[in-house]
């Protein structure tokens, strides 16, 4: 599905990622954990085509996306749930979801996609005509996930979906990730909540100071002393 090789990224002169290698297989949930400032968001933004100062390859099903403009990346089956949710606050919940299916190839699936998202998050159906900006943080996160699902992705990039949410809502979000994955969608999950992330994923990578410092099955990483030190600071 996704193969990232030797990825480097810069902000001007400042390098943010060094030689990052990672892969996500079809139908897999893979997490990337690491402390603040490790480069997790830069990595996700690079894959989504929103950060372009990179070297190396980002291939989806063998097609290199590093030269593909951001608005074409979705054509290859990639959708983004951005950090901080970034729903379109002055548009209604319904319009946010419809916009998820903006791409021509996604439009025929609009009705089915809306039904799926409404069954996943019934609260979005109730709030359909409200402005997205008036939703609670948890509801906005659900909307951001729903919007990405309407793009009918095969790979969902999720950047810190639990950030700033109440514990009850975090449960809902992780339940949703399981349900989405059960539909056959691969997920690359970037999270600060290490335990939860490793619970939901089969494999994980630890990113610290722009480098992959550990990788393995979630069980291995959960017990690893390195993870506890570098991410949790214990």
Task: Give the binding site for another protein (CB under 8 A).
Answer: 48-50, 69-75, 79-80, 82, 86, 88-91, 95, 98-100, 102-103, 106-107, 147, 151
**Shortest separation between residue 52's beta carbon and another protein, angstroms:** 11
**Shortest separation between residue 73's beta carbon and another protein, angstroms:** 7
What is the DSSP secondary-structure string of 164-202? T--HHHHHHHHHHHHHHHHTT-EEEEEES-HHHHHHH-S
**Shortest separation between residue 137's beta carbon and another protein, angstroms:** 17
For another protein, the closer of residues 101 and 227 by Cβ is 101
DSSP 195: H
Q: How many other β-carbons are positioned within 10 Å of the β-carbon of residue 223?
A: 10
Chain-centroid distance of CA 220 in Å reads 22
**Contact (CB, 8 A) for 198 and 46:** no
**Contact (CB, 8 A) for 177 and 187:** yes
Residues 204, 197: Cα–Cα separation, whole Å: 9
**Shortest separation between residue 228's beta carbon and another protein, angstroms:** 34
For another protein, the closer of residues 24 and 87 by Cβ is 87
For another protein, the closer of residues 91 and 213 by Cβ is 91
Please name which of 114, 120, 84, 85 lies closest in space to residue 99, comparing C-alpha atoms. Answer: 114
Residue 84, helix vs strand vs coil: coil
Angle at 143 between CA 141 and CA 144, to 5 degrees: 65
For another protein, the closer of residues 70 and 213 by Cβ is 70
Residues 199, 176: Cα–Cα separation, whole Å: 14
**Shortest separation between residue 197's beta carbon and another protein, angstroms:** 22
For another protein, the closer of residues 103 and 118 by Cβ is 103
For another protein, the closer of residues 131 and 213 by Cβ is 131
**Shortest separation between residue 36's beta carbon and another protein, angstroms:** 21
Cα torsion 30, 162, 58, 104 to 10°: value is: 110
């Amino acid at each position: 599905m996704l193969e990232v090789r030797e990825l480097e990224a810069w902000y001007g002169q400042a390098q943010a990622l060094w030689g990052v290698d990672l892969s996500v297989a079809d139908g897999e949930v893979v997490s990337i954990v690491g402390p603040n400032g490790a480069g997790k968001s830069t990595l996700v933004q690079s894959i989504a085509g929103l950060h372009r100062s990179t070297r190396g390859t980002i291939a989806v099903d063998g097609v290199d996306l590093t030269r593909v403009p951001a608005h074409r990346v979705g054509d290859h089956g990639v959708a983004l749930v951005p950090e901080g949710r970034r729903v379109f606050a002055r548009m209604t919940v319904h319009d946010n979801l419809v916009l998820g299916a903006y791409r021509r190839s996604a439009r025929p699936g609009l009705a089915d996609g809306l039904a799926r998202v409404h069954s996943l998050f019934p609260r979005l159906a109730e709030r359909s005509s409200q402005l997205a900006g008036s939703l609670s943080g948890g509801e906005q996160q659900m909307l951001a996930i729903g919007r990405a699902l309407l793009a009918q992705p095969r790979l969902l990039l999720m950047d810190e979906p639990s950030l700033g949410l109440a514990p009850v809502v975090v449960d809902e979000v992780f339940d949703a990730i399981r349900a989405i994955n059960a539909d056959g969608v691969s997920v690359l999950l970037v999270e600060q909540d290490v335990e939860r992330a490793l619970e939901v994923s089969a494999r994980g990578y630890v990113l610290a100071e722009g480098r992959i410092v550990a990788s393995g099955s979630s069980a291995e990483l959960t017990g690893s002393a390195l993870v506890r030190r570098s991410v949790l600071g214990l």
